Amino acid sequence: MPSLTLAHISDLHIGPLPRAGLRALAGKRVTGFLSWRLKRSKIHRIEVLDVLAKDLAAQQPDHIAVTGDLVNIALPEEFTQAHDFLKRIGPAERVTVVPGNHDAYVALPWLKAAGRWDEYMTGRHADGGDRPPRDMRDFPFVRRIGGMALIGVSTALPTRPFSAAGELGADQLQRLDAMLEQLGEAGAFRIVLIHHPPFGGGAYKRKSLRDAGPLAEIIAKRGCELMLHGHTHMSQLGRMKGPSTSVPIIGVPSASAVVSDHRDPSRYHIYRLSRGERADGAWTLTVSMRELKPDGSGFAPIGEIVLLGETNPPLTSPTSSAAA
């Protein structure tokens, strides 16, 4: 199998906010609007996304994963702005998106909200259909890119003001369980794309994944090879118990964040996956991290780590690209 590269970006929080009337700002949007005006508009900058889009194009990844929070307060025009940005970074066959909590900031009809980007979320569903999700709960979907299987889940749901929690729900968890089992048996390199970190509770309970416990049970039983998330706006590296080895879990900061004292500046990661470089046939996976330069003029590499390749057990029967 030739090597494949997957870029991961998250939490675009595309601005500036479109004009909105008082009626549109009723309810939860008021708090989000004030937060944007007072704080977030200074952190999340469209200029940073412009520079990132350029750098990303120069890196020529085979595929790009976007793990949610493309918008801020879910005004209908924001979804159009986000759609335009997605089209700039690549066609739907080369870019896979899952929604985040800001993409479900308030309840809206699906096709007026994140469903606007449904070609970027089109894949194989647990019922065997190749189609876009019908709503915010109609996940996971799977996309096969060579030996990789990208499994997109949705933790997005409207919540009360000041909550940024996420939830998969029992039905989605059940479908995820079945998909992971099937793809594992097929020898795919399973990458779960999820907005919220798959860890719950702690100091950030109001921002965390409510059903992290049941998810951890599924991963412990079925395993996956990698989980990629956003939401925290920080670089994070964790591990979760799998059936035989632990699963690496990697979070990336906000793609639009300026260099400031607010968490991490904009970064994105490029995963390079290959197989056949070692005699035992194990996967090799490296991650290169690129960060916004302090003067904002471009991105520069800040490091590379080998995630798999030293001790990971070989997987049998590599698969090549299938449908979806």
Binding status of residue 101 toward Fe ion by CB under 5 A: yes
Among 69, 78, 177, 211, binds Fe ion (CB under 5 A): 69
> 107 to 166, contacts with Fe ion by CB under 5 A?
none
Record the tokens describing residue 251, joined without a space.
Answer: 């979070």
Nearest to Fe ion of 101, 154 (CB atom): 101
**Interatomic CA distance for residues 74 and 98, integer angstroms:** 15
Q: Binding to Fe ion by residue 63, rule CB under 5 A?
A: no
Q: Pick one of 40, 229, 231, 275: the residue that binds Fe ion (CB under 5 A).
A: 231
- Total residues binding Fe ion (CB under 5 A): 5
Residue 100 found at the interface with Fe ion (CB under 5 A): yes
Nearest to 316 by CA among 222, 189, 192, 143: 189
Q: How far is the C-alpha of 181 from the C-alpha of 131, rounded, in Å? A: 21
Nearest alpha carbon to residue 242 among 232, 227, 231:
227
Stretch that binds Fe ion, among 36-44, 224-232, 307-315, 316-324 (CB under 5 A): 224-232
- Please state, in angstroms and rounded to a whole number, the distance separating the CA atoms of residues 169 and 164: 16
Indicate the helix (H) or strand (E) that contains 304: strand 299-308
Question: Measured from the CB atom, is 131 or 262 closer to Fe ion?
Answer: 262
11-25 burial, b for 16+ CB within 10 Å, e for fewer? bbbbbebeeeeeebb
**Which one among 8, 11, 105, 159 touches Fe ion, defined by CB under 5 A?**
11
Task: Report the residue number, 231 or 269, with the smaller CB distance to Fe ion.
Answer: 231
* CA separation for the pair 132, 158 (Å, rounded): 20
**Of 11-19, 129-137, 276-284, 288-296, which part binds Fe ion (CB under 5 A)?**
11-19
Residue 126 or 255 with smaller CB distance to Fe ion: 255
CA atoms within 13 A on the CB side of 288: 13
Applying the rule CB under 5 A, the residues between 28 and 57 that interact with Fe ion are none
State in angstroms the smallest separation of the CB of 72 from Fe ion: 9
Residue 229 within binding range of Fe ion, rule CB under 5 A: no
List residues near Fe ion by CB under 5 A: 11, 69, 100-101, 231
